[in-house]
């Protein structure tokens, strides 16, 4: 049976856990549920991205029309930037759709992570380290925490979203505390630290 570690005890989840999660947790002896984090809705993110792209295309046509009417060529560059922004919004919208539905369920003896119905189970003794994945480059978001990776001794890397769909960041704080209490490292990582892959 897995060891249990001292965790903050938030209120029990208000909704029933999916049967796959209950079965996986019971099969590995994870014990009591302590926290549930559901990720954002990929369809909502997709719709938002497509809506932003449509808005940028409309702005493109508006600026292009004005540029033609007043014969002011520099406005064409601004219109072109709107078109590039629309393309980026479409790419990001499809990226959000591909990311799918995720959820992480914290238990006294480990965690269960689901992505599009696929279940991964990690017990606390299996945890090797926790990666704090930060954005790199020379942009405004350089150094910003993007997500976590729970790395196990057998080489699995379980991605954990930074926050819930409602913006709650409790899970990440709890994971850092748990990994530290295990005596395992919490490592700054990601492109910001020169590491491109988890």
Query: Mutual orientation of helices 42-70 and 74-99 as an angle, nearest 10°?
Result: 170
Of the listed ranges 3-12, 23-32, 38-47, 117-126, the one predicted with least confidence: 3-12
Total Cβ atoms within 10 A of residue 95: 13
The tens digit of pLDDT for each residue in 97-150 reads 887 888 999 999 999 999 988 999 999 999 999 999 888 877 777 888 888 999
pLDDT band at 13 (very low <50, low <70, confident <90, very high): low
* DSSP secondary structure letters along 139-188: STTTT-EEEEEEEETTS-EEEEESS-TT---HHHHHHHHHHHHTT--EEE
pLDDT band at 74 (very low <50, low <70, confident <90, very high): confident
Which are the contacts of 48, defined by CB distance < 8 A and separation ≥ 6?
93
3-state secondary structure 170-183: HHHHHHHHHHHHCC
DSSP 124: G
Record the pTM. 0.72
Rounded mean pLDDT, 77-97: 91
Report d(CA 126, CA 156) in Å as an integer: 10
């Amino acid at each position: 049976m897995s060891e249990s570690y001292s965790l903050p005890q938030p209120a029990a989840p208000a909704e029933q856990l999916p049967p796959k999660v209950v079965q996986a947790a019971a099969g590995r002896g994870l014990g009591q549920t302590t926290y549930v984090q559901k990720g954002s809705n990929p369809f909502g993110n997709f719709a938002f991205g497509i809506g932003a792209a449509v808005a940028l295309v409309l702005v493109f046509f508006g600026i292009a029309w004005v540029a033609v009417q007043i014969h002011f060529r520099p406005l064409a560059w601004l219109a072109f930037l709107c078109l590039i922004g629309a393309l980026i919004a479409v790419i990001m919208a499809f990226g959000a759709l591909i990311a799918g539905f995720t959820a992480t369920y914290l238990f006294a003896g480990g965690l269960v992570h689901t992505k599009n119905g696929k279940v991964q189970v990690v017990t606390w003794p299996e945890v090797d380290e926790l990666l704090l994945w930060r954005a790199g480059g020379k942009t405004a978001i350089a150094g910003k925490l993007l997500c976590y990776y729970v790395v196990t001794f057998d080489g699995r890397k379980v991605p954990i979203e930074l926050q819930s769909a409602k913006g709650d960041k409790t899970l990440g704080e709890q994971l850092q505390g748990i990994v530290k209490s295990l005596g395992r490292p919490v490592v700054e990582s990601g492109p910001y630290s020169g590491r491109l892959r988890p």
